[in-house]
Each structure stands twice: as C-alpha cells, then as structure tokens.
Amino acid sequence: MKRSTILLSALVLAVSAGTAVAATEDLDVRRLTSSLDQLSSDPALGGYAQAEQARAREAIGQMAQFKPKDKEHGHYLYIAERRVDIAKAMAQYQDAQAKSAQLDREHDAILLEASRLDAEMARRQLEQQRMQNQMIQEEAARLQQQGVEYSQALEQAKAEGEKARQVAAAQARVANAAKKQAALAEAAARALRDMNSSDGGAPASTPATPAPKKTKKNGH
C-alpha cells in the first residue's frame, strides 16, 4: 500500500511538471505570435516589412520545436524576439518613408499653389511643411538605426549559438574519449584478474632470508 502511494505521488508530480513546461512554452509562442498578429493587422503598418514578418514567424516556429529547458530553446527565443522587434522597426521605418514621400508630393503641390497665393502665406506654409518633413526624416533615420542595431544583435546571437554548439561538440568528444579510456582500463583489470585466477590463486612467494655473514676473526 505504501509503495502504491509513493508511485502515485511521483506520477502526479511528473504530470504537474510536464504541464508547467508546456504552459511556459505556449506562453513564449503565444506572446510572440500575438505581437506579430497585432503588427500584421495594424491598418497603418500591417502592409509593411512583409519579409521581416515572415522571418520572425519562421524563428518562432524553430523555437517551438524545443522544450524550454533545452539550450536551443533559449537561443531561438532570443532570435525570435529580435526578429519580431526588427519587423516592427522596419514597418515603422517604411511607413515613415511613405509619409515622407507623401509630404514631398504635397510640398510640390504647395509650390504650384504658391504661384497663385500670397507670397508670404506660401512661405509660411512651406516652412511648416519643411519642419514636419524634417521631423519625419529624423524619425525615419532613428528607426533605420534601430533596425541596424537589431540586425547586429541577431548576428551576434547566431555567432554565440554556433560557438556554444562547437563547445558542446568538443565536450562530447572529450566525454567519449574518457569513456573509452575507462573501458580499456576495466578490460585490463579484468584480464589481470583472469590471469591471477588461472595461476590458482597462489600467494606470491616470500623472498628468502639471506644467510648471516660470518664475522672475520682479527688476526686469528
């Protein structure tokens, strides 16, 4: 009865641990997928950065193939998060570019209209338009720089992941070599025991005690 209770308790703990792991994994996937879905459904930004959004979803899919306790899961989680950030930044940057182009077209239209309007009024409108355009361009430059930084962070993460895989492979080779050496040592010890057994287990011979030297008589 006591043994059955212990087994039942262990089974309950194992099921609880598995449920917690699945919940953590689902949380990471749901969080990043939800963030991408919000971006793609955004009326202003959803149509931009399609390639970056696709790469982000691919990274999420790669992350979902590993359990949270796996080292690869953490690596791909970092990459997926960076790619989601890059997709958002690129969408904002492309939207800023489109707005800047629209402002340029409006600027040209204002120039044409200025010929029919009072010169001072046209100058004020152009100055206001120039300031707005400058703010948009500065924001676009900031977003572009942010995208570059995210890309650099992604490349660094890839390099660190590759280094970690190389270290793990080297450690595996060392472990295999140690196992082989241990196996050889065990085989040698077994062979030595077999040789001793074949000799009948006779104890090693005791070395003979040397005979005492005769003392020479002095002059007699």
Q: Which residues contact 98 (CB under 8 A, 6 or more apart)?
A: 48
Residue 6 lies in a domain: no
Contact 144, 93 (CB under 8 A): yes
Task: Note if the pTM is more than 0.85.
Answer: no
Query: Per-residue pLDDT tens for 15-37?
Result: 343 444 444 556 888 999 999 99
* Stronger pLDDT, 26 or 40, i.e. the higher one: 40
Q: Which two tokens stand for residue 111?
A: 């120039």
Range(s) of the domain holding residue 34: 19-195
Q: Does 218 map to a domain? A: no
- Quick check: is 220 in a domain? no
Q: Which of 3-17, 72-86, 106-120, 126-140 has the lowest mean pLDDT?
A: 3-17
Q: What is the tens place of the pLDDT at every residue in 205-218? A: 444 445 555 555 44
* In a domain? residue 7: no
In a domain, 3, yes or no: no
Residue 201 forms part of a structural domain? no
Residue 88 has pLDDT above 80, yes or no: yes
- Res 42: pLDDT: 93
Decide if 9 is inside a domain.
no
Domain count, the chain: 1
Residue 182 lies inside a defined structural domain of this protein: yes
- Condensed to tens digits (0 to 9), the pLDDT of residues 183-195 reads 998 888 888 888 8
